[in-house]
A and B are shown apart, each in its own frame.
Chain A
Amino acid sequence: AQSVTQLDSQVPVFEEAPVELRCNYSSSVSVYLFWYVQYPNQGLQLLLKYLSGSTLVKGINGFEAEFNKSQTSFHLRKPSVHISDTAEYFCAVILNSGNTPLVFGKGTRLSVIA
């Protein structure tokens, strides 16, 4: 079965500083990878996804992630964060057959400090 590990449960960062949220996955077969964001008191929304092609994918709000097959990682990055980026971020994986449900990591809480 596939799974994801988010290596940091909380990440504090100063406004306008860069940030990286780490995600590693495990699977014996090919997978698709996703990042979702949850703003306070809201449901989750899709930030970006990797299905195939270029290993660097860009999402909404200036975020990007890089798929690294050899390291089984899919880290999320932003060069300069804003207060409004304060949220919980979830990495998720699904088998590339697509007929199994999405599996989420435990989340990383990003706190941007003014």
Chain B
Amino acid sequence: NAGVTQTPKFQVLKTGQSMTLQCAQDMNHNSMYWYRQDPGMGLRLIYYSASEGTTDKGEVPNGYNVSRLNKREFSLRLESAAPSQTSVYFCASSTGLVGELFFGEGSRLTVL
């Protein structure tokens, strides 16, 4: 049972470089989410997709773009990485039951 799979698990970038974090779920969930986790800040929502074909901004969307490629996949793109984007990024999907999210194992990104 793969659940929610994120790639890559680790990445180091230089300021100004771009990259895409990939997320795929095999549970046939409609909703998918991208969060970032920073020490002392908890999890903050970057973007979410309530269903295939829709995306919405969360609390901290600046500097990011997303694509809901199909029902399974939801990618997060950093067009010009900044040191402030150094974080652990989590993708999650929802069963449709209120508030029940399944999380991936995270992607640790360092921007130098």
Contact = CB atoms under 8 A, between A and B. Distances in A.
Contacts, number: 55
A32 B33 contact: no
B98 A104 contact: no
Interface string A96-114: 1011011111110000000
A106 to B, nearest CB: 4
Q: B interface, how many residues as a size bin?
A: 20 to 34
Contacts of A44: 43, 90, 92, 101, 103
Given A43-B90, A94-B99, 20 more contacts: A6-B42, A9-B40, A41-B106, A43-B4, A43-B103, A44-B43, A44-B90, A44-B101, A44-B103, A49-B99, A90-B42, A92-B99, A94-B98, A98-B98, A101-B45, A103-B45, A104-B42, A105-B42, A106-B40, A106-B41
Interface of B: 4, 33, 35, 40-45, 48, 50, 58, 90, 92, 98-106
